[in-house]
A and B are shown apart, each in its own frame.
Chain A
Amino acid sequence: MSWTWFHRLASPPHIYRLAQQLTPWFAWPAAALILTALYGGLVLAPPDYQQGDGFRIIYMHAPAAWMSLMVYTTMAVAAAVALIWRMKVAHAVAASCAPIGASFTFAALVTGSLWGEPMWGTWWEWDPRLTSELILLFLYLGYMGLRGAIDDPQRADRTSAVLAVVGIVNVPIIHYSVTWWNSLHQAPSVMRLGKPQLSMPMLWPLLVMLLGFTLFFVAVLLVRLRGEILVRERSASWLREVVGT
């Protein structure tokens, strides 16, 4: 079997140009979906019978939490691929993920706190879900700190990739924390087996918001990826071609 297509696909110049061309195809649909979901969630969805209008925090909290886990998973898979196949572009993907994931993990924690105070009567509790999500933030920050502390880019790539791969154990812990242990946090209402527990007028804005944030992640990732590819690239001819002098 010929692997040339694979190498061409993973070659930095090819990925750079592809990333550039694909960005608007993710960015604009993301913006449209997020705006639609904002209108659906804030205006069209009816108030919850228990939480009133307070439940609408879900349209920010759940997507932020989804991003925190989905971005980490992407980062760990990219890091594993990079370690196994020594693929420079995969290292670049992993490095691009970290700041995005860290910022949305921060948003998930803050919005969770803002939801917890009126509903549970506390901003913070050392509860399994909350604590494991906080550890996720530290994993992202540790990954970024480790990269920043190693001067040699290739060593920084390899060492941080090991941390990213090992840290993946935290992802299922976060997801299942609410079913494995007694938690203040409610059990999953959408990401579960069987029917979602939200009614359709409440559910569709959430699903649209989740899709919008996912496309947004890809768009931001593609922009960051181009920068990370440039940093790793040593060939002058194509560098000159893409950045112009």
Chain B
Amino acid sequence: MKEFLDMGGYAAFLWPSYAVTLGVAVLNVVWARRSLARAIAAARRRLAAGGAES
């Protein structure tokens, strides 16, 4: 296990590169869901205010 984590001495470069890329992927999921939730909330407000055409 220790040998695996050490990555032949490249651990200090390899693990951060995995953390950044996979972190960006996770953030994309969070951001996308948040932007959709925000758009749904805004659409509901617009409907309540009668701003949309029927």
**A residues touching B (Cβ–Cβ < 8 Å)?**
34, 42-43, 47, 52-54, 56-57, 60-61, 63-64, 99-100, 103-104, 106-107, 110-111, 114-115, 117-118, 213, 216, 220, 223-224, 226-228, 230-231, 233-237, 239-240, 243-245
A111 to B8, CA, bound (A): 18
User: Given the known A-B contacts A103-B28, A226-B36, are A236 and B8 also in contact in the complex, defined by CB atoms under 8 Å?
Assistant: no
Query: Interface majority SS on A: helix, strand, loop or mixed?
Result: helix
**A221 to chain B: closest residue by CB:** B32
Q: Is the CB of A53 within 8 A of B47?
A: no
- B3-17 interface code vs A (CB 8 A; 1 in, 0 out): 010011110011011
Q: Is the CB of B17 within 8 A of A236?
A: no
Q: Which of A103, A115, A117, A240 contacts B24 (CB 8 A)?
A: A103
User: Given the known A-B contacts A53-B8, A220-B32, A227-B39, are A236 and B53 also in contact in the complex, defined by CB atoms under 8 Å?
Assistant: yes
A56 to B18, CA, bound (A): 10
Q: Which residues of B contact A228 (CB under 8 A)?
A: 39
Q: Is the CB of B40 within 8 A of A63?
A: no
- A-B CB contacts (within 8 Å), total count: 117
By CB atoms of chain A within 10 A, which of B18, B44, B47, B48 has the most?
B18
Interface size on B, residues (CB 8 A): 35
Q: Which residues of A contact B38 (CB under 8 A)?
A: 227
CB distance from B35 to the nearest CB of A (A): 5
A220-B28, A243-B40 given; 16 more Cβ-contact pairs under 8 Å: A52-B9, A53-B7, A54-B13, A60-B22, A107-B24, A111-B21, A216-B25, A216-B28, A223-B36, A227-B32, A227-B38, A231-B39, A235-B52, A239-B46, A243-B43, A244-B44
A243 to B24, CA, bound (A): 29
A233 to B43, CA, bound (A): 9
Q: Is the CB of B39 within 8 A of A115?
A: no
A104 to B31, CA, bound (A): 13
Q: Which residues of A contact B33 (CB under 8 A)?
A: 223
CB distance from B47 to the nearest CB of A (A): 5
Q: Is the CB of B31 within 8 A of A99?
A: yes
CB distance from A223 to the nearest CB of B (A): 4
Q: Is the CB of A235 within 8 A of B53?
A: yes
Can you name 9 A-B residue pairings with CB atoms under 8 Å?
A54-B8, A60-B18, A103-B24, A223-B35, A223-B36, A227-B38, A230-B39, A233-B52, A235-B53
A14 to B51, CA, bound (A): 22
Q: Which residues of A contact B25 (CB under 8 A)?
A: 34, 213, 216
- Interface pairs A-B: 9 shortest CB-CB: A227-B39, A53-B8, A236-B52, A54-B10, A60-B21, A111-B17, A227-B36, A223-B32, A230-B39
